[in-house]
Structure 1
Amino acid sequence: MHQLTQKLGSGDMVIQEVPYPQVGKGMVIVKNHYSIISAGTEGSTVVAARKSLIGKAKERPQQVKQVIDTLKKQGPVQTYRAVMKKLDAYSPLGYSCAGEVIEVGEGVTEFEVGDKVACAGAGYANHAEVVAVPVNLCVKLEHEANLKDAAYNTLGAISMQGVRQADLRLGESCVVIGLGLLGHLAALILKASGVTVIGIDVSEAAVKQAVDHNVVDLGLTRNAAGVEEQILNATKGHGADAVIIAAATSSLDPINFAGAIARKKGKVVVLGAVPTGFDRDPYWYRKELELKMACSYGPGRYDLTYEEKGIDYPLPYVRWTEKRNMEAFQNLLTTKRIDIGYLTTHEFEFDKAKAAFDLVVSKSEPFTGISLKYDTSKAISKAKITTSDATKLGKVNISFIGAGSYAQGNLLPNIPEASEVTRVGVLTNTGTTSKRVAEKFKFQFCATEEADVLDENTNTVFVATRHDSHGPYVLKSLQANKHVFVEKPLCLLESELDAIIEAQSVANKAVMVGFNRRFSPLTTKLKKTVGTNPMTMIYRINAGAIPKDTWIQDAEIGGGRILGEVCHFIDYLTYLNGSLPTKVSASALPDANQLNDTLNILIQFENGSSGVIGYYANGSKAMTKEYVEVFSAGTSATLSDFKELKIYGKGKPKKTKLLNQNKGQKEMVTAFVNGLLEDGQAPISFEEIVAVTKTSFKVLESIKRGGEQVDI
């Protein structure tokens, strides 16, 4: 299937063939009939992409700071890879569309094949022939619905949320500042609700369009003579009950103008992208105005549980969610209480999408809404897409399932270039990522179906997906008789671990987890120095806080930071002392969100060694992130951020300092592939991997039992 993409680095826009999207749990596959171009949001994205690197940097100072921070901590190589991944990636465009359901995922009950639907969401409701959308970002339409109008779904829901935040009653008044698509739609919704609407815009054409279609009761340009007095007269001398700012500008004029025209104790709702640094006097303070933000489509937006898991908020407690806002907007269209047909001033066939965006950027002629129309008679294929002419196979034939930021920065670039190593296929959730990774790293194809990367041409699978799918993909790979490398953790459930142990015993294939730190050059030197005597070890991690709504903190998807990250450090201590963990106790600092991400862990090992892991999310980022101390038979050592190693023994301490941090990713991938080439074995024993994974589970158990020591 075909999708519109753009590279952030070059600004190149192209419609390209990408793999058919995967239908995940709680998702529907939709064949698009129409999608809408948002001149504001998408237009600014396209304009930014077409700027020089300096221009991009000026527009994104926060991202420039992140690059500088990465450079300081990880060095130029990792920083370069991270930046180029962003610049070279195929970025999908679009976030509002309508079409028909052609496939439903597991657990979906409210949709069926053939339903007409409207969809929303950046990364989901793209400009593409086929899209995969979570159920809470998709609404069912009446059979007779006009799909071109319905494709305004996202924009309508955003405007609807702005109106709801204004909380107006029948007969009250509202000024809408900015009569672009969002402001125009907000005015239509307000008018249908019995609110007196006054529209303001810097463009005479935008005001004229609103007046000509009876969208506003009064339309004025911002620079009209006596504009404030006219608004005061229209509101019987009181001022507007509410002001909705739907403009997009860096100027403070909209927020200060809103203060001037709102009545005392009125509301000002920010719907567009404007600064809010208003002047305190003479209006905002004296009128005791209320400033409110409208968060996109409404409650549920940016909530992983709502959007990705499809768990709805109970209607009696959250009357208007983002999905219910979409449904309300579509109901206005179906019942013809609002008419938006005239908003589509331009319609382009999908294969002419680039010309449509050229119009948005150049503004060579007036436009309001721009619609892309799709050829729905075209057959859609799930076949894999060839990205290389190579067909030969070697001794190690690698396919990737998942290929996100970590894989692109640390795994894929480090696969050895050898005649006996073949890069076969790539499978990811998004077709754009699959295609770009397959092309950049010279794989033979990118795919939609798991069977394509688990067939006889692949004998080694790299799993680099979100944590919740690690266990299932490792199991499927073993059952398909493949060697498997999985980015940590191995799995999130003890039942998955049991199944993996059994499957590995049957397949007798190598299983490797991405515990890279043990492969760091400084770790190699440290282990050689401390030897095999029983030792005491301290590993302190200044991990920093991660918001509770981040996917890694979600118990079902990310497993939390103990299963998702602390396993790294358990493995490291296991490797250093050379024996398996036998007992563990752990206690976590109480926190309001019960994240268990600030904790101390004490581990006992078979050879008598002991190790303490201090994993802290409550510290300062200015401090070194990872620090290790080891004490053994008269020798002590410290390792700081995998850049500096100090050995203390007889005489003067010996110091080794690297120019750049090296956590061993390259050495790890090389060791894994070379192990398969030599004898089909992984460089970490399966016994160690199982023990580390079990210990991670037992850490959670010990915390639940009040820090009690637990046998592993």
Structure 2
Amino acid sequence: MEQLTQKLKSGEMTVQAVPWPQVTPENVLVRNHFSLVSAGTESSTVKAARASLIGKARERPQQVRQVVDVLRKQGPVQTYRAVIKKMEAYSPLGYSSAGEVIAVGGAVRDVSVGDRVACAGAMYANHAEIVSVPRNLCVKLPEEAKLELACYNTLGAIALQGIRQADLHLGESCAVIGLGLLGQLTCLMLRASGVRTLGIDIDDFAVETAQRHCCDAAWNRTTAGLAERIAAETNGSGVDAVIITAGSRSLDPINFAGQIARKKGRVVAVGAVPTGFAREPYWYKKELELRMSCSYGPGRYDLEYEEKGRDYPLAYVRWTENRNMQAFQELVHSLRIDIGYLTSHTFALDDAPKAYDMIVNRSEPFLGVVLAYDVSTALEEQRVVVRPPRPGGTVKLAFIGAGSYAQSHLLPNLPKHDGDVVNKAVMTQTGTTSKRVAERFGFEFCCSRTEDILHNDDINTVFIATRHDSHAQYVIEALKAGKHVFVEKPLCLTPEELGDIEQVYDRCRDQHLMVGFNRRFAPLAVELKSRIQQTPMSMMYRVNAGAIPEGAWAHDVELGGGRIIGEVCHFVDFLTWMCGSFPTEVHAAAMRDPHARHDTANISIVFADGSIGTICYYANGSTMLSKEYVEVYGSGLTGIITDFKELHLYAGSKPYRRKLLNQDKGQARMVAGFLQAVQEGAHPVIAPEEIFAASRVCFAALESIKNRRSIRLDDGDACVPRVGPGAGGRETCEVSATGRADSSRVASAHRIDPTRSVGSL
């Protein structure tokens, strides 16, 4: 399929072939017939991309501060990778479209293939031939609906939500400041509801258009005595409400709204304007009420609503974003509002760059700019070839998922000129990411179907770097398909998934299964482990994790597993590797949290050799403090690692210190070790039993928090591995069918084979 994209670095805009987007269970796949260019929002994005580097920095000072922070904490290498990843990415454009459903996710029940729908949402309803949209961000249309009008869906819902925030009634008056598309739609719906509508803009073309089609009166903001004219239109009292749909850095819209609103009136900010209003009209004289309008309406930015499709009860939330879209589409279809005049220009998708040039340069007057798609030919879901196939190669790998972490820490560490490792395929959630990753890291093709990877005999190794909820499924499918598997942490989200993975792996132990537990590969960690040879030892791992937004998917138990399962597994693995012994007992306590997120907790672990470790995982600390801090005590020696940039060793009379220029958490050595093991057919770099143990400890920690007691890992639900003869000449974990280990052998056989540690790589 074809999609319009832009690079942030150069501003280069192209219509290019990319794979189809993925169809998740809660999404519908739509073939676009028309999409709307939002001249205000999208032109700002395009202008920023076309600006110089200094101009970009001025436009995004917050992102500049983030870059500086990464440089300070992680060093120049990771900073460079992060910046290049962002600047070179293909950014999709557009967020309002209409078309025909061509596939539906398994959880969608009320939309069928062949239905006509209007779609909304940045990153969803893009300017592309095929889009994947969550069910609650699209609305069904009548069969005879005009899709060239229905594509105004998103802006119509935004305008309607602003009107609802203004809380206007029949016979009242409203001034609309800003008469672009959003303002015109607002005025149309206000008039249709019996509200006297006054329009204001700085552009004569917009004012004249509004005067003809949607306003009782409209003026240029520069009109002399404008406030007095508006007062005269309202019998001297002022308007009941002002809706600001303009986009401006000036304080004039918000302050002028205060001048023309009646006493105790309402001002609603819909457009992007500063709100540092003058106090006199708002507070002292009129007691005005300033309200903010949240995009399309209730449900916006709510993960449960938008991505999981969980609706709000109509009796308690009458107008959600989806119901706002429905109401707008009904107004359009019933001709209660006539929006046909809004489309001043229509371009074919291939000519989309010309449309943006016209908008940015303002080479001619415009209002609504619509992109039309050729729907006369059949579209076929297929691979997009990026470069010719390369023969040979012992490791022929593919990536399923290639988001921010993979692009920063996994893909850059693949060998670039190694004939034994061949990059074959990439599949991600969106076609634009797949295409860019394939180009940048030298993959042969990108695709949207898992069978192009898992059922491809020319691929023997799969990296899985998707969102946490899909890890277990992809691991199982890849193992069954005979692939070597590297999966980013966590391995899985539930004990049931872990049991399924173990059963599958038991039948294919000649394949490698690796989880991205990179910290055991960090050079400072390897050095520390080499200095502390005797056990038992005591360990403390403090993680200043910091808070993440309430609605983030990582908090969601179903999507991310929560932070203990999703992140703490890293640190469990590190302590297990450091002492070289399996965990036997877990006790955890979490700080009180009304949301039960358990992201500020202490987790104490007892190991089979008598070692003890504590993981202090805190989400309530200062960002000024280092993120990760490790202390290890043993053999009369104390070792301290700070953020994997600095190592301090205290033994004897003279302390030892080593500091790195760049933070190194071991990703490069981890990837190299995994690929080497696949190439040579050697034993796994991390024994699967150690991988499974990390998941069990996290499940036990949550159980301990819930029941306020210590959890023995040899009590049945989780187990201490039983050591016995294993593949590759090492001793490996044996567990009975009930999941219960033979704890009688643990005391004498608790050690993890030291030849398997990263120190020997």
User: Same-fold call, TM > 0.5?
Assistant: yes
CA distance in 1, matches of 2:110, 2:283: 47
Question: Is the contact made by 1:20 and 1:381 (CA closer than 8 Å) also made in structure 2?
Answer: no
Partner of 1:517: 519
Question: Is the contact made by 1:259 and 1:284 (CA closer than 8 Å) also made in structure 2?
Answer: no
**C-alpha displacement at 1:680, in angstroms?**
4.2
Partner of 2:487: 486
Mean Cα deviation higher: 659-668 or 296-305: 659-668
1:556-584 per-residue CA deviation (whole Å, 9 max, x = no partner) reads 00110000001110001001000111110
1:603-652 per-residue CA deviation (whole Å, 9 max, x = no partner) reads 00011100011001111111111111111121111111111111111111
1:314-359 per-residue CA deviation (whole Å, 9 max, x = no partner) reads 1001100000000000000011000000100001111111111111
CA distance in 1, matches of 2:353, 2:147: 22
Partner of 1:112: 112
Partner of 1:497: 498
Partner of 1:3: 3
Partner of 2:345: 346
Give the alignment's TM-score, normalised by structure 1: 0.99
**C-alpha displacement at 1:378, in angstroms?**
2.0
Q: Does 1:193 align with 2:156?
A: no
Question: Is the contact made by 2:282 and 2:289 (CA closer than 8 Å) also made in structure 1?
Answer: no
CA distance in 2, matches of 1:526, 1:64: 35
- Considering only aligned residues, what root-mean-square deviation do their CA atoms show, in Å? 0.9
Q: 1:282 to 1:28 in 2, by over 3 A?
A: closer
Question: Is the contact made by 1:517 and 1:663 (CA closer than 8 Å) also made in structure 2?
Answer: yes
Question: Is the contact made by 1:548 and 1:593 (CA closer than 8 Å) also made in structure 2?
Answer: no
CA distance in 2, matches of 1:547, 1:592: 15
What stretches of structure 1 of length at least 5 have no aligned partner? none
Q: 1:681 to 1:435 in 2, by over 3 A?
A: farther
Partner of 2:93: 93
Partner of 2:371: 372
Partner of 1:143: 143
Amino acid at match of 1:407: A
Query: How much identity, in percent, do the aligned residues show?
Result: 59
CA distance in 1, matches of 2:229, 2:283: 20
Amino acid at match of 1:340: I
**C-alpha displacement at 1:212, in angstroms?**
1.1
SS of alignment partner, residue 40 of structure 1 = helix
- The correspondence for 1:685, drawn from 682, 687, 705, is 687
CA distance in 1, matches of 2:709, 2:189: 57
Q: Does 1:448 align with 2:474?
A: no
Partner of 1:305: 304
- Pairs within 5 Å for 1:580-619: 580-619=582-621
Question: Is the contact made by 2:703 and 2:711 (CA closer than 8 Å) also made in structure 1?
Answer: no
Question: Is the contact made by 1:22 and 1:132 (CA closer than 8 Å) also made in structure 2?
Answer: yes
Amino acid at match of 1:383: Q
Question: Is the contact made by 2:390 and 2:422 (CA closer than 8 Å) also made in structure 1?
Answer: no
Partner of 1:230: 229
**C-alpha displacement at 1:109, in angstroms?**
1.1
Amino acid at match of 2:575: L
- Pairs within 5 Å for 1:318-337: 318-337=317-336
CA distance in 1, matches of 2:412, 2:319: 46
Amino acid at match of 1:314: P
- The correspondence for 2:577, drawn from 575, 583, 601, is 575
**C-alpha displacement at 1:21, in angstroms?**
1.7
Question: Is the contact made by 2:587 and 2:710 (CA closer than 8 Å) also made in structure 1?
Answer: yes
1:270-309 per-residue CA deviation (whole Å, 9 max, x = no partner) reads 0100000001114443211111011110000001110001
Question: Is the contact made by 1:553 and 1:595 (CA closer than 8 Å) also made in structure 2?
Answer: yes
Q: Does 1:43 align with 2:43?
A: yes
Q: Does 1:356 align with 2:355?
A: yes
Amino acid at match of 1:369: G
Partner of 1:160: 160
Amino acid at match of 2:476: L
Q: Does 1:695 align with 2:694?
A: no
CA distance in 1, matches of 2:364, 2:108: 44
CA distance in 2, matches of 1:706, 1:267: 51
Q: 1:26 to 1:532 in 2, by over 3 A?
A: same
Partner of 2:284: 285
CA distance in 2, matches of 1:114, 1:641: 54
Question: Is the contact made by 1:587 and 1:702 (CA closer than 8 Å) also made in structure 2?
Answer: yes
Amino acid at match of 2:468: H
Question: Is the contact made by 1:247 and 1:274 (CA closer than 8 Å) also made in structure 2?
Answer: yes
Mean Cα deviation higher: 390-399 or 181-190: 390-399
Amino acid at match of 2:657: K
CA distance in 2, matches of 1:326, 1:595: 33
Partner of 1:127: 127
Amino acid at match of 1:334: H
How many residues were matched structurally?
711
**C-alpha displacement at 1:165, in angstroms?**
0.4
CA distance in 2, matches of 1:28, 1:626: 41
Amino acid at match of 1:561: R
Question: Is the contact made by 1:532 and 1:578 (CA closer than 8 Å) also made in structure 2?
Answer: no
CA distance in 2, matches of 1:17, 1:549: 33
CA distance in 2, matches of 1:499, 1:394: 31
Amino acid at match of 2:335: K
What stretches of structure 2 of length at least 5 have no aligned partner? 719-761
**C-alpha displacement at 1:237, in angstroms?**
1.3
Amino acid at match of 1:515: F
Structure 1 consecutive aligned stretches of length 4 or more whose deviation exceeds 4 Å: none
Amino acid at match of 1:322: E
Question: Is the contact made by 2:583 and 2:693 (CA closer than 8 Å) also made in structure 1?
Answer: yes
Question: Is the contact made by 1:587 and 1:707 (CA closer than 8 Å) also made in structure 2?
Answer: no
Mean Cα deviation higher: 422-431 or 278-287: 278-287
CA distance in 2, matches of 1:285, 1:335: 45
SS of alignment partner, residue 197 of structure 1 = strand
Question: Is the contact made by 2:392 and 2:419 (CA closer than 8 Å) also made in structure 1?
Answer: no
**C-alpha displacement at 1:20, in angstroms?**
1.5
Partner of 1:12: 12
Amino acid at match of 1:219: A
SS of alignment partner, residue 507 of structure 1 = coil
CA distance in 2, matches of 1:595, 1:372: 44
1:166-189 per-residue CA deviation (whole Å, 9 max, x = no partner) reads 010111110000000001101111
1:375-424 per-residue CA deviation (whole Å, 9 max, x = no partner) reads 00122111111111123141111100000010001000101231111111
Amino acid at match of 1:184: Q
Partner of 1:432: 432
1:359-385 per-residue CA deviation (whole Å, 9 max, x = no partner) reads 111100000000111000122111111
SS of alignment partner, residue 583 of structure 1 = strand
- Pairs within 5 Å for 1:250-265: 250-265=249-264
CA distance in 2, matches of 1:707, 1:184: 62
CA distance in 2, matches of 1:136, 1:710: 44
Give the alignment's TM-score, normalised by structure 2: 0.93
CA distance in 2, matches of 1:269, 1:147: 30
1:27-54 per-residue CA deviation (whole Å, 9 max, x = no partner) reads 1111111000000111110111111111
**C-alpha displacement at 1:532, in angstroms?**
3.5
Partner of 1:461: 462
CA distance in 1, matches of 2:480, 2:35: 41
Q: Does 1:532 align with 2:534?
A: yes
**C-alpha displacement at 1:681, in angstroms?**
3.2
CA distance in 2, matches of 1:359, 1:204: 18
**C-alpha displacement at 1:58, in angstroms?**
0.6
CA distance in 1, matches of 2:430, 2:234: 51
Amino acid at match of 1:226: G
CA distance in 1, matches of 2:541, 2:704: 19
CA distance in 1, matches of 2:283, 2:334: 39
